[in-house]
Amino acid sequence: MGIVNATPDSFSDTDEHRTLEARVELARSLVAAGADVIDVGGESGVTNRPPIDPLQEMERVVPLIERIVEDVGVLVSVDTYKPQVARAAVAAGAAIVNDVSGLRDPVLADVCAETGAGLVLMHTRSAPKQKVMDPALDGRMVADVEEFLDERIFVATRRGVAFEQLLLDPGPDFSKTPAQTVGVLRALEGLHGLGRPLLLAVSRKDFIGAITGRPPRERVGGTLAAIAHGVDAGAHVLRVHDVGQTADFLAVRAALDAHGEVASELRLAEGLRWHRR
């Protein structure tokens, strides 16, 4: 899942993709690099600014989703917690609603029930645009994630969302200290007991910065380490900024796996033997 932000204040992006055309081209390049899904967001998760109006968020994501669906032809998810935005995004062609609020507004589930869109349920104890970390949950966060997601599954299905429409996200960094996030990811395999696919959203996250001491755009190495762990634990969907590097990492990893297949005629293309200036 490649990330295309339609926001001016993403925590990790620069100013290079500020226009609609630039964002469509970014989506196209991510698909060419190996993305199967494009996740479009119209409101940054940064907590030092207030939420934006739903109409403004729709103005940002709807034209972009329409263009990606029509011109790029790839599955699109919309990163939003607002029912009005979700409904408009699905009407524009989005097939998945990626809700980072933990279904704080259950009406969002109604949108998915009525339209058949997939719904990502993410663990968080914080309201959108707020950052709350509770050290009292040290040692108990893993259980909290499982209990929270189980309860959110119940809420969603009670409102008509089919169990098969759901994906689960343990919410790295969301209402968690770096140490709590690490604890949750160490226990990722246990979430398979809830019976739905797992979305792993670790790309450039704060816990990686805390471990490595690097700013967001220098966290590719740390991100790949977290992805390796997540793949070993059975994660099904990887939400990443650096699609090409992730695809390369997974390709080499698969080739080196004891069960991987490598054709005997595999050779390096002549044009790749030297770095051309």
Indicate which residue of 152, 239, 267, 273 is catalytic. Answer: 239
Who's near 222: CB < 8 A, 6+ residues apart?
Answer: 208, 209, 211, 212, 214
* Cβ atoms 211, 221 nearer than 8 A: no
Angle at 9 between CA 8 and CA 12, to 5 degrees: 115
As beta bridge partners, residue 53 has none
Q: Is 78 exposed, middle or buried (0-12, 13-18, 19+ CB in 10 A)?
A: buried
Distance CA 225, CA 200 (A): 13
The number of residues making up the chain comes to: 277
Q: Which secondary-structure segment (H or E) carries 97? A: strand 96-99
Lookup: tokens for 214: 């690097």
Indicate which residue of 23, 125, 205, 219 is catalytic. Answer: 205
Angle between helices 141-158 and 178-186 (to 10 degrees): 70
**219: annotated active-site residue:** no
Distance CA 55, CA 75 (A): 23
Residue type, 232: D
3-state SS class at 239: coil
Write the CA distances from 3 to 76, 108, 126, 203, integer angstroms.
10, 21, 22, 10
* Cβ atoms 128, 102 nearer than 8 A: no
**205: annotated active-site residue:** yes
Distance CA 136, CA 260 (A): 44
Catalytic residues: 205, 239
